[in-house]
Amino acid sequence: MVLVFCAVAGLSGHAQTWPTRPITLVIGFSGGTGDTIGRPFAEFASKQLGQPVVVENRPGGGGVVGAIGVSRAQPDGYTIGLQAVGPMILRPIMDPSVGYDSEKDFSPIALLIDTPNVILAGAKFSARSVRETVGWARQNPGRVTVGHPGPGTMGHLAALLLASDAGFAGNYIAYRNVTLLVSDLLGGQIDVGVAAYAPQLKATRVLAVMTAEPVAFLPGVPSMREAGFPGVYASTWFALFGPPNLPPDVVEKLNAVTNAFLRSEDAQKQFALLGVQALGGSPAQLTKRMIDDRVLWSKVIKDANIKLKN
């Protein structure tokens, strides 16, 4: 009983004293959605915690450099990281020598947001729906051209998942960025595109959003369930992590701050403009999402024999 009391008292004491100095929020990207969400989160968390939360961008390797930095930080609550599904789940599958184990080398804190992938039609492609697209692709094996934002990206894997589920073969074309993908869609150079939603994609013809239910920022666009392909879902999530063995009371405080941020009016307005969905929830929910995604995308990656190296 004495040992239990001492342990609880120790945690309580840590919760009351932390934080006593600035916290570093490592963002594994320079610019983009992660940075756009991370900076207002840092500002909100600074006010809630009573200490500055300082953003430190550590780009490189598609988020890998930032992830390595967080995984090797002291578990004292003064270094945390904002990361995405790519470096946390996809990259370690494609490159086991990446430098960390996302199951063991991090303390999950909370999911932040989700950016769903969308299926886009080229200006000269006749199909008006996902079902028509699949029908044409089945009748013309290997002829449908499918653009995506690069090998191993969520857009690439989402396209492969659709092809596998629907039973067709595609001709996949990698683009350096979404802007180039949109340009070729509008010019009719490719038939279909798959990418994480971004406001500039509204200029194209959006056939479906790769979610179970419709999303408010794309009115009139069917979900994959409505399009006739339930289970073909793909999205890019961002979440908050700490180093391994982060004290439970620190995780609890950071989780509470994250959920409060996601509920805030300012954040909700920003999410609507960006076309992202707030997630939140408990550390256990983030852990489950990671496990589920690891199972799903491991199969897609291995079936396609996708391998990347730093």
CB within 8 A of 284, min separation 6: which ones?
Answer: none
The two domains 22-115+236-304 and 116-227 share their CATH topology (first three levels equal): yes
CB 224 within 8 A of CB 209: yes
CB within 8 A of 50, min separation 6: which ones?
Answer: 19
Model pLDDT for residues 240-268, shown as the tens digit of each residue: 999 999 999 999 999 999 999 999 999 99
DSSP states of 203-223: GSEEEEESSSS--TTSTTPPB
55 membership: H or E segment, kind and range? strand 53-57
The stretch 140-168 carries a mean pLDDT of 96
Three-state DSSP state, 114: strand
Domain 22-115+236-304 top-level CATH class: alpha beta
For the chain, give every domain's residue range: 22-115+236-304, 116-227
CATH topology (fold) of 116-227 = D-Maltodextrin-Binding Protein; domain 2 (3.40.190)
Model pLDDT for residues 153-166, shown as the tens digit of each residue: 999 999 999 999 99
Please tell me the predicted confidence (pLDDT) of residue 97. Answer: 94
The stretch 204-223 carries a mean pLDDT of 95
Using the structure block, give the residue that is written with the tokens 């947001």: 113
Q: Give the whole-angstrom CA distance, residue 154 versus residue 204.
A: 19
